[in-house]
């Protein structure tokens, strides 16, 4: 248990965005507590890509190194656990954890990420982050020139197909229901030989998460090396909402250009508030958030 209970800033979420905020705040000698439950969204992916200097490392290698670097700053403390409740106090906020510890701070940073809602289809969860992937920039290069699926419909599927088309010319869109493309989109998909299957999927046959076949409701099966899947998500923590932070129409925490939420003294960074889902972006927005929170603490005192 952490002894000091009152901090300048509490950061909830100690993955890439949270650690990046903590580094900026630690270097400004702010007393910071990071509360982290240790469940980053990319934990199942074998190799992380497209983050300069760390390309190809495991997610864990990157976060271990990040944590080691942040731990050098003695004003930054860590608490392993889940933040379960947030309340407003006269001077700031109080956070309660699953172990009933209570911590207070003038400012709160949510770096809590998002939780993917996986479809209840056999094999999906095993393949997620390995051969069922979310982003061409993160994993597309590794599956270049291979037999690739896109499990999505409408504008999302069309956008993904246009990006993936530069990586492979063997693409099948699986809409799992009636395809929703206008005639102009259909013409373009046709020109690029992109196939469309509307039948629902019943199983992702795989070996240790490596996709082998996609099996359809009509019992047909097609072999694939990888498939992009656009799946829904929920906020990993509901504390920002309980404190009154507004969400965008897409379900992200609403922030301004300085990562400030709609509630004074509360900031959000990383995946929870941005649809550009990448470690580079999480680190960037976390760094900005740390500087903005420090700037506000400075203005209140100086
Ligand atoms: C399968 C997959 C593969 C990916 N591959 C890549 C890749 O190759 N390259 C790339 O750049 N990006 C990749 N990404 C995206 C990247 O992982 C995310 O953009 C990044 O992890 C976001 O960082 P974050 O700190 O915002 O959130 P996360 O890394 O998800 O971390 C959120 C942290 O907050 C903690 N937390 C949440 N709620 C609470 C609470 N109430 N109390 C305490 N702690 C809490 C969680 O336990 C977690 O540790 C991938 C994503 C997925 C899903």
Closest CA to ligand 1's atom 47: 39
pLDDT tops 70 at residue 255? yes
Of ligand 1's listed atoms, the one at least distance from the Cα of 47 is 8
Query: Among 36, 80, 102, which residue has the most ligand 1 atoms within 8 Å of its CB, making it the best to mutate?
Result: 36
User: Is residue 33 a contact partner of residue 7, using CB atoms and an 8 Å limit?
Assistant: yes
At residue 231 the predicted structure's pLDDT band, cuts being 50, 70 and 90, is: very high
At residue 4 the predicted structure's pLDDT band, cuts being 50, 70 and 90, is: low
- Where does 204-278 have alpha helices with state H? 239-242
pLDDT of residue 1: 47
**Phi and psi for 124 in degrees, rounded to 5?**
-60, -55
pLDDT of residue 179: 98
Identify the bridge partners of residue 32 per DSSP, sorted by sequence position. 9, 76
pLDDT tops 50 at residue 240? yes
Q: pTM (2 decimals)? A: 0.96
pLDDT tops 90 at residue 17? yes
Residues of the chain with pLDDT > 70, as a percent, come to 99
Query: Among 15, 85, 230, 231, which residue has the most ligand 1 atoms within 8 Å of its CB, making it the best to mutate?
Result: 15
Distance, in Å, from the CA atom of 165 to the CA atom of 107, rounded to the nearest integer, reads 45
Which pLDDT tens digit goes with each residue over 195-204?
A: 999 999 999 9
Which pLDDT tens digit goes with each residue over 281-291?
A: 999 999 999 99
Which pLDDT tens digit goes with each residue over 59-102?
A: 999 999 999 999 999 999 999 999 999 999 999 999 999 999 99
> If DSSP states are collapsed to H, E and C, what string results for 100-140?
CCEEEEEEEEECCCEEECCCCCECHHHHECCCEECCHHHHH
Distance, in Å, from the CA atom of 118 to the CA atom of 128, rounded to the nearest integer, reads 9
Which pLDDT tens digit goes with each residue over 266-278?
A: 999 999 999 999 9
Structure tokens at 45: 């992916």
Q: E strand or H helix at 9, and its extent?
A: strand 6-12
- The rounded Cα 106 to chain-centroid distance in angstroms is 26
Long-range contacts made by residues 214-221, C-beta under 8 angstroms, separation at least 24? Answer: 214/149, 214/174
Give mean pLDDT, residues 23-40. Answer: 98
Residues of the chain with pLDDT > 90, as a percent, come to 98
At residue 3 the predicted structure's pLDDT band, cuts being 50, 70 and 90, is: low
Ligand 1 centre distance from Cα of residue 13 (Å): 9
pLDDT tops 80 at residue 2? no
Which pLDDT tens digit goes with each residue over 37-51?
A: 999 999 999 999 999
pLDDT tops 70 at residue 299? yes
Distance, in Å, from the CA atom of 119 to the CA atom of 232, rounded to the nearest integer, reads 9
Which pLDDT tens digit goes with each residue over 93-137?
A: 999 999 999 999 999 999 999 999 999 999 999 999 999 999 999
Ligand 1: list residues with CB < 6 Å. Answer: 12-18, 35-42, 44-45, 48-51, 82-83, 111-113, 116, 128-129, 134, 138-139, 236-237, 270-271, 277-280, 282
Q: SS3 of 197, please?
A: strand
Identify the bridge partners of residue 34 per DSSP, sorted by sequence position. 11, 78
Identify the CA nearest to 221 among candidates 123, 125, 155, 297. 123
User: Is residue 79 a contact partner of residue 105, using CB atoms and an 8 Å limit?
Assistant: no
């Amino acid at each position: 248990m952490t002894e000091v209970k009152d901090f300048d800033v509490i950061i909830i979420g100690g993955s890439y965005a949270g650690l990046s905020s903590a580094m900026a705040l630690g270097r400004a000698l702010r007393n910071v507590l990071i509360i982290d439950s240790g469940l980053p969204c990319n934990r199942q992916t074998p190799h992380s890509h497209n983050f300069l200097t760390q390309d190809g490392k495991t997610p864990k290698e990157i976060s271990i190194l990040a944590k080691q670097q942040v731990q050098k700053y003695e004003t930054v403390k860590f608490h392993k656990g889940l933040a379960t409740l947030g309340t407003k106090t006269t001077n700031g906020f109080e956070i309660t954890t699953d172990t009933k510890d209570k911590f207070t701070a003038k400012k709160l940073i949510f770096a809590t990420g998002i939780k993917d809602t996986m479809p209840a289809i056999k094999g999906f969860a095993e393949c997620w982050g390995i051969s069922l992937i979310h982003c061409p920039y993160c994993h597309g290069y590794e599956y270049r020139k291979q037999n690739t699926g896109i499990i999505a419909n409408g504008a999302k599927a069309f956008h993904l197909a246009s990006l993936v088309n530069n990586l492979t010319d063997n693409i099948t869109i699986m809409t799992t229901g009636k395809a929703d493309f206008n005639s102009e989109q259909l013409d373009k998909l046709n020109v690029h030989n992109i196939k469309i299957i509307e039948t629902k999927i019943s199983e992702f046959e795989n070996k240790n998460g490596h996709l082998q076949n996609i099996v359809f409701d009509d019992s047909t099966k097609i072999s694939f090396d990888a498939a992009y899947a656009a799946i829904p998500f929920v906020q990993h923590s509901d504390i920002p909402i309980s404190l009154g932070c507004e969400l965008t129409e897409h379900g992200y925490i609403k922030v301004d250009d300085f990562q400030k939420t709609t509630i004074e003294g509360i900031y959000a960074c990383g995946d929870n508030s941005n649809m550009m889902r990448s470690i580079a972006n999480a680190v960037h927005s976390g760094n900005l958030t740390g500087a903005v929170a420090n700037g506000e603490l400075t203005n209140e005192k100086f």
